[in-house]
Amino acid sequence: MSGSLMSRLSAHNMGGEDHLPGWCAVCGRPHPERHHVVARSLGGTAGPMVHLCGRGNALYDADGRILHHGAAEMHRLHLWWVDGRDADIAPSVRGWQSAFWAYLLTDFQTNPWDALRLPGWRPFP
């Protein structure tokens, strides 16, 4: 993915708000870890954060359930700030109204640009 596309995706999501309710934003499990929506390496240090279950890069818990922090770290969980701007780069969420975080969980690693073109995006519960 070219740097300019990644920069545009990062800039869009930096406009989002923190989503830190105290439980995993995707599944609702308690004791989540804070996750930078835009990677710190891409300038997201001061950007929005979400709570996701799990610690570090672990992908599954002892019972075989997916851990969403690990899924995000492994590019299987993708986040998008839905607010009607930049709909041309997020056709799968085009037409959604309001402003909220949406996510897509895939069974495979994919880059954020390709993820925006996949079906199955859902708003945080």
3-state secondary structure labels for all residues of the chain: CCHHHHHHHHHHHHCCCCECCCECCCCCCECCEEEECCCHHHCCCCCCEEEECCCCCCCECCCCCECHHHHHHCCCEEEEEECCCCHHHCHHHCCCCCCEEEEEECCCCCCHHHHCCCCCCEECC
39: pLDDT strictly greater than 70? yes
Q: Is residue 69 domain-resident?
A: yes
pTM: 0.84
112: pLDDT strictly greater than 60? yes
> How far apart, in whole angstroms, are the C-alpha atoms of residue 16 and residue 30?
23
Average pLDDT over residues 89-101: 73
Average pLDDT over residues 49-54: 93
Which one, of 8, 26, 19, 24, lies nearest residue 120 by Cα?
26
Q: Is residue 124 domain-resident?
A: no
Average pLDDT over residues 14-34: 88
Say if residue 107 is exposed, middle or buried (CB neighbours under 10 Å; 0-12, 13-18, 19+). Answer: exposed
Q: Is residue 52 domain-resident?
A: yes
* Assigned token pair, 55: 């610690």
Q: Is residue 74 domain-resident?
A: yes
Counting the structural domains of the chain, the total is: 1
Q: Is residue 85 domain-resident?
A: yes
86 band by pLDDT with thresholds 50, 70 and 90: low
Q: Which domain holds residue 83?
A: 3-118
Q: Is residue 49 domain-resident?
A: yes
